[in-house]
Amino acid sequence: MSIIVQKFGGSSVANIERLELVADHIIREKEKGNQVVVVVSAQGKTTDKLITEEKEITDEPDKREHDVLVSTGEQITIAKLSMLLIKKGYKSVSLTGWQIPIITNSEYNNGRIRYIHNKTIEDYLNSDNIVVVAGFQGVDENGNITTLGRGGSDTTAVALAASLKAERCDIYTDVDGVFTSDPRIVKNVKQLSNVSYEEMLEMSSMGAKVLHNRCVEIGQKYNVPIYVKSTFEKESVGTLVSKNNLEDLVISGVTKDDYISRITIVGLENKIGKTYELFKILSNNRINVDVIVQSFGEYITKDIAFTVKMNDLNKTLQVLNENKDKIGAKDILHTENLSKVSIIGVGIANKPGVATGMFEALYENNINMHMITTSEIKISVLVNSNMADLAVKAIHEKFID
């Protein structure tokens, strides 16, 4: 008997009519003779609402308590869905992350799954239950509730599929599959029938929120086939994320990631170890840095610019200002409201003209680039957020339309 893991996102479980559709998808798999594990998100915008309510108390909530609060949304969905399945004549049981348990590290708000105790789930499956699991949540070794980062229910689903050695993981969502760009921004997007883990990981990490990037990492590590498909379209063929890229596309996608800020350290002494010292201070304070650019350093001083998420901006500036003398910087500048726009495709680095085409699309639309980074598989530029959608459309049009 095969185990199938199905995951349904927030919009797929938003109300009772949609839960009925979800139940149909689950029952269809069950009736085929499979053992079914279902992972669900909080209903609709519940998680956003909880965060808004939290802001009525404080802008800087205690991280542990934040996780206790935001993990509650998923618990409501599992109970409702399980009740519905029972009403329809099926055996079903709901489980929270800590009942299973799904053990994570202790990094609140951004926990990583360490291991999953399969036995609880397996016992319920073997007694013919449909097991409904709360996504996005786990528990650390000291019994503290943790969450896996926004969009983390995808990661719960793929991690469960890996741990239970499921045949596949189906991610049901509000679009038909993975497209060459966000269908909410670009009109003429193409659906990818297949995409490799490598490309998908890059697309998710660069802002394509259709899949949480860590779920792709886990899928790749444990070779779990991931199907992304629509909850609402009966005939949805979806997209298969697996080892192979069967599409003959040079460019697999254009993405954007918002809420980025750039910090520039001006006049840093041009001495060995200065850059290391700066980034050591940041990492000691658990600040994640993304794009880094350093000026040539041909003179007595050099400038270093790097990006952090807007959420981390205040903390980063505070840490830098506290250490200004130690760093020996003349000035610390920052720019807010930037977006990273990226073009992704296997072997992009070896395809002449991709960078030029991207820069041309931006130039034709009068969009200024604040920073550029490249890798084997992507080129990213930083632009003002109010230009980001236009940039995505222009680049998509140049390469894919």
Residues that bind ligand ASP (CB under 6 A): 9-10, 41-42, 47, 73, 135-136, 150-153
Q: Vertex 348, ends 258 and 275: CA angle to 5°?
A: 60
Residue 209 CB, nearest distance to ligand ASP (Å)? Answer: 9
210 binds, among Mg ion, ligand ADP, ligand ASP, none (CB under 5 to 8 A by kind): ligand ADP
Pick between residue 34 and residue 213 the one whose CB is nearest to Mg ion. Answer: 213
Cis peptide before 61 (omega within 30 of 0): no
How far apart CA 175 and CA 112 sit, in angstroms, is 27
Q: Decide which of ligand ASP, ligand ADP, Mg ion, none touches 47; Cβ closer than 5 to 8 Å per partner kind.
A: ligand ASP
Please, are residues 152 and 212 in contact by the beta-carbon 8 Å criterion? yes
Q: Quote the least distance from Cβ 151 to Mg ion, whole Å.
A: 4
> Which CB sits closer to ligand ASP, 46 or 316?
46
Between 153 and 342, name the residue whose CB sits nearer to Mg ion: 153
Nearer to Mg ion, 5 or 348 (CB): 5
Residue nearest to ligand ADP (CB): 9
Nearer to ligand ASP among residue 76 and residue 86 (C-beta): 76
Taken in order 391, 392, 398, 401, is the CA torsion positive or negative? negative
CA gap 184, 196 in Å, rounded: 23
Buried b (16+ CB within 10 A) or exposed e, 332-354: beeeeebbbbbbbbbebeeeeeb
Residue 178 binding partner per list ligand ASP, ligand ADP, Mg ion, none, with a CB distance cut-off of 5 to 8 Å that depends on partner kind: ligand ADP
Nearer to ligand ADP, 11 or 75 (CB): 11
CB of 151 to ligand ADP, least distance (A): 5
Contact (CB, 8 A) for 22 and 172: yes
Contacts with Mg ion, residue ranges (CB under 5 A): 9, 151
**Cα separation, 148 vs 3, whole angstroms:** 24
Nearer to ligand ADP (CB atom), residue 47 or residue 316: 47
- The 8-class DSSP code of residue 160 comes to H
* Closest separation in Å from C-beta 182 to ligand ADP: 3
CB 269 within 8 A of CB 261: no
Cβ-based nearer residue to Mg ion, 73 or 151: 151
How far is residue 380's CA from residue 378's CA, in Å, rounded to a whole number? 6
Smallest distance from Mg ion to CB 211, Å: 7
C-alpha span between 243 and 195 (Å, rounded): 8
Which of the choices ligand ADP, ligand ASP, Mg ion, none does residue 44 contact, using the CB cut-off of 5 to 8 A by kind? none
Instruction: Report the Cα–Cα distance between both ends of the chain, in Å, rounded.
Output: 44
- Which of the choices Mg ion, ligand ADP, ligand ASP, none does residue 323 contact, using the CB cut-off of 5 to 8 A by kind? none
Rg (the chain; Cα; Å): 23
Distance separating alpha carbons of residues 305 and 263, to the nearest angstrom: 5
Running DSSP on this structure, what letter comes out for residue 179?
B
CB of 150 to ligand ASP, least distance (A): 4
Q: How far is the CB of 112 from Mg ion (least distance, A)?
A: 18
Q: What are the residues binding ligand ADP (CB under 6 A)?
A: 9-12, 41, 151, 173-175, 178-179, 181-184, 208-210, 253
- Peptide linkage before 101 cis (omega within 30 of 0): yes
Q: Whole-number minimum distance, CB 193 to ligand ASP, in Å? A: 24
